[in-house]
Amino acid sequence: MQRMFLAKSEKVKPSRCPFCAYKLNGAAGMVAVESETAKPSPGDFSVCIECANVLIFDKDLSLRRPTYEEARESRERPDVMQARDIIGRMIASRPVQIVKH
Ligand SMILES: [Zn+2]
C-alpha cells in the first residue's frame, strides 16, 4: 500500500459533525506527497477530528452522514481507513479534561 500523508489543513465551509456536533471548519486531505494539499469536492470522504466517524462532503460542501453504501465503500478505501487510524491515534493521545462539579 502506498504511504499517504495527512496534508496541511485547508479552510472549508463551517459545518457541524452530524455524529458529535463538533464544529468543523478545516479539512486536511490525504496526499501522496507531504507538501501537497487537497481541497474537498462533493462526494469526497472525510473523517471527523473529534469522533473519527466517516463523513461525506455534500453538494454544498457541508458534511453529512454517509449512506449505508458509502459507509461500506469507506471501509474498502485504504486512504479513508488510514485517515481514521491517524485521527484515532490523535484522539487517543489527547489529554483528558477534568471537569469538576
Ligand atoms: Zn464527530
Q: How far is the CA of 51 from the centre of ligand 1 (A)?
A: 4
What is the C-alpha separation between 27 and 24, in angstroms, rounded?
Answer: 8
pLDDT in tens, 27-85: 888 888 878 877 889 999 999 999 999 999 999 999 999 999 999 999 999 989 999 99
pLDDT higher than 70, residue 1: no
Question: Residue 58 to residues 4, 51, 67, 101: CA-CA distances in angstroms?
Answer: 24, 19, 12, 40
Helix or strand holding residue 27 (H, E):
strand 23-27
Residue 74, SS3 per DSSP: helix
pLDDT tier at 100, thresholds 50, 70, 90: confident
Q: How far is the CA of 54 from the centre of ligand 1 (A)?
A: 8
CA distance 30 to 7: 6
Residue 21 Cα to ligand 1 middle (Å): 6
Q: How much distance in Å is there from the Cα of 30 to the middle of ligand 1?
A: 18
